[in-house]
Structure 1
Amino acid sequence: MIFGAIQLKIFQIRIKKIHETAKSAQYESKEAQYDGDVALVLNEFIRKHQELIEFITNLNKTTKYITFVEFLVSSLNCASIVTSLIKIKSWDANLLIIITYILALTIQIFAYAWAANEIKVHSLGIADALFESDWYHFNKKCRKMVLIMLMRAQKPLYMSIGPFGSMTNETALLMIKASYSYVAFMKD
């Protein structure tokens, strides 16, 4: 997932510098050729954007049920460990092991959710990067291409948790709250 988020961030940076990319083409002296270079660069960016969309969509299709099982098992595991922690009467070495394990589970859950959240944030950032580029200097054809890309970038890419929607940092907090609910239920 981090690979997808990084690719989206790199793509944002390249979009912001589209003007320099087109200027660095071999025909920088003539305006007509510059406009053609911008169109070529935009076509390349549109293809790259479609590739990123396809990659993240396929990644999501492949991992969404695995992610669901991972979150479910982690929340139940965390709840059962906290329940055993509550029942410990004396402070010994096992207490430190249990606390370390709970901390490791929590970090794992939040790291996974953070990576998924980065995909969503950076996919929406593509629209911002397009807007921050010098698109208003382009000819009409190139501005239309930018608008089409801008419209597509308004729909965020995301990683989902099974059939239950997108995975974000808020989802990780909900999982911790669910673990607390399991603890309250198992405590009795």
Structure 2
Amino acid sequence: MLACRFWISAIAIEKTSFTIALDQWWIALNTLRRKTSVAILPTVVMIGGLLALGSMLFWCNHEPATRDAEAMQWSVYSRAAFERTELEEKPVSVLYFANWALSADPKGGLSAPVISHSLVDAGFVLMSADLTDSDVHDFDELKRLGFKSVPVLVLYPRTGMPVGFCGGASVSSIVHAIEEFGRYEDGQPSGPAME
């Protein structure tokens, strides 16, 4: 407490309600210490400290109720699962990636929580295709869509042409395209172009 008073006087802060309350607390603590036995005071201080620490930990670690990106798992892509989802007439998003891709993030930021949330909100089923240990034929779909490298996020609406985004695409352009898909009940976008 002496150090606290030293710093307060060293900075030449006027007496504020905080410093007044601090002084009153210090006086009450000294009065309590004189009136109580030596065995009770440490117990009271310890209980008070534990309550303060517990409430601080509770409030500092209390996160707002938001959707967790982990709750939106990307299922593993397989041709059978993709066709089954198409038969259910659900739009599908497939993230094609490989661990040998020339970026720090093999998924190129295309699995960012904001993108995942937008896809789920628009009703897309999330799938990821790991092309790390793949052969030449696994890239046929990407070649057909005009992509020569990974990572690529391809949105397959219920009807209409698929739309793809490479790893360098901005998050805002991807979210905008997803919102365009969500505006049309039949799944046809107004025309977000492939990037």
After TM superposition, the score normalised by the length of structure 2 is 0.24
The structure richer in strand per residue is 2
Q: Tell me which of the two structures has the higher relative contact order, counting C-alpha pairs closer than 8 angstroms and 6 or more residues apart.
A: 1
Please state which structure has a larger fraction of its residues in helix. Answer: 1
TM-score, normalised with respect to structure 1? 0.25
Give 1 or 2 for the bigger CA radius of gyration: 2
